[in-house]
């Protein structure tokens, strides 16, 4: 049995064409089902539906052979025990620093002020501000980071930005670009050896699809 860990929503949707290229068609959609294990047209392939942040953990411990996770999630997780053969170029966005409109971020940084930063991405944020030599207090949040500057919880946030409409709707502006984010194929290293003949064709089909999109 091959088990593939995916999260609901954008990753599941954007993975469907990759699965199709590998001849895998889920037997139901996670949005319309409460099932956490979803069968496919192939008897020996199943999907498990987990939180985006939990995908690396399932693969690391071998509860899933493959998974798809955002670079943001992988950077926070650390990647121990994982083989990351392929950037799938899906779920693309940017990790950015944002502040409330009117907050003088550059000025605060120049003055050497200690900044309060709210984020789900504490590891990436710590590294970013340390590399700039900016002193920060990090406040860990699990979602809706955009609210934090509006209610005085933080001076700035580190969050993902795609269209910019969430920032705009909340009177925030991006002030710094930390890095580009896309999702990667995550493979359990032991499974790759033990189930090589079954896993490699899936990895190859994903790679061929990604390459074809880039021409
Ligand atoms: N607005 C966006 N546009 C494109 N990609 C995004 C966007 N937001 C997040 N992503 C990417 O998609 C991945 C999955 O996001 P999703 O919203 O499904 O989960 P999440 O809500 O971030 O995680 P969790 O459910 O664990 O809290 C993220 O890890 C990131 O790599
Ligand atoms: O620039 P935009 O296109 O507005 O996208 C940015 C938003 O997308 C992500 O949230 P998501 O939509 O995943 O909602 P979530 O809070 O459920 O993670 C991210 O945390 C931002 O809030």
Looking from the CA of residue 120, the nearest atom of ligand 2 is 20
pLDDT at 81: 86
Pocket test for ligand 1, best of 30, 73, 91 (most atoms within 8 A of CB): 91
Q: Do 2-91+182-214 and 93-180 fold alike per CATH?
A: yes
Give the distance (Å) from ligand 2 centre to CA of residue 202. 29
> Which residues are registered as beta bridge partners of 138?
117
Cβ density class 50-87: b for 16+ within 10 Å, e for less: bebbbbbbbbbeeebbbbbbbbbbbbbbeeeebbeebe
- From the CB of 111, is ligand 2 less than 6 Å away? no
Query: Count of alpha carbons within 13 Å of 14, Cβ hemisphere only?
Result: 17
User: If you measure from the C-alpha of residue 212 to the centroid of ligand 1, how many angstroms do you get, rounded to a whole number?
Assistant: 24
The answer to whether residues 146 and 167 touch, using CB atoms and an 8 Å cutoff, is: yes
- Which ligand approaches the C-alpha of residue 9 most closely? 1
pLDDT, one tens digit per residue, over 166-206 is 999 999 999 999 999 999 999 999 999 999 999 999 999 99
pLDDT digits (tens, 9 = 90+) for 38-59: 999 999 999 999 999 999 999 9
pLDDT at 67 over 90: yes
Torsion angle, CA of 114/109/117/148, rounded to 10 degrees? Answer: 110
Instruction: Return the CATH class of domain 2-91+182-214.
Output: alpha beta
Mean pLDDT of 86-102: 98
Looking at residue 215, its pLDDT comes to 86
Q: What residue spans define the domains of the chain? A: 2-91+182-214, 93-180
CATH 3.40.190.10 for domain 93-180: yes
Question: Using CA of residue 60, residue 66, residue 67, residue 71, what is the dihedral sign?
Answer: positive
Atom 22 (ligand 2): residue with closest C-alpha?
166
Residues 23/76, Cβ–Cβ less than 8 Å? no
Check whether 63 has a pLDDT greater than 90. Answer: yes
Q: What is the pTM of this model?
A: 0.96
Instruction: State the pairing for strand pair 136-140/115-119.
Output: parallel
pLDDT at residue 21 in the model: 98
pLDDT digits (tens, 9 = 90+) for 113-157: 999 999 999 999 999 999 999 999 999 999 999 999 999 999 999
Relative to the CA of 9, which ligand 1 atom is closest? 18
Distances 35 to 11, 29, 68, 74 between C-alpha atoms, Å:
17, 9, 19, 25
Q: Which ligand is nearest to the CA of 165?
A: 2
């Amino acid at each position: 049995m091959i088990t593939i860990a995916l999260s609901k929503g954008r990753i599941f949707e954007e993975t469907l064409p990759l699965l199709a290229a590998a001849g895998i068609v889920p037997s139901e959609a996670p949005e319309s089902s409460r099932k956490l294990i979803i069968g496919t047209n192939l008897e020996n392939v199943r999907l498990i539906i987990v939180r985006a942040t939990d995908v690396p953990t399932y693969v690391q411990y071998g509860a899933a052979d493959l998974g798809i996770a955002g670079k943001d999630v992988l950077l926070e997780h650390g990647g121990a025990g994982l083989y990351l053969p392929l950037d799938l170029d899906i779920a693309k966005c940017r990790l950015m620093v944002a502040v409330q409109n009117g907050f003088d971020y550059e000025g605060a940084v120049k003055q050497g002020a200690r900044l309060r930063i709210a984020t789900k991405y504490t590891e990436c944020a710590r590294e970013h501000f340390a590399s700039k030599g900016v002193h920060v207090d990090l406040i860990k949040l699990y979602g809706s980071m955009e609210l934090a500057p509006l209610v005085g919880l933080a001076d700035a946030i580190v969050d993902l930005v795609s269209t910019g409409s969430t920032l705009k709707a909340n009177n925030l502006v991006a002030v710094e670009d930390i890095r580009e984010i896309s999702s990667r194929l995550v493979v359990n290293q032991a499974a790759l050896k033990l189930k090589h003949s079954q896993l490699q064709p899936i990895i190859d089909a994903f790679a061929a699809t990604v390459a074809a999109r880039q021409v």
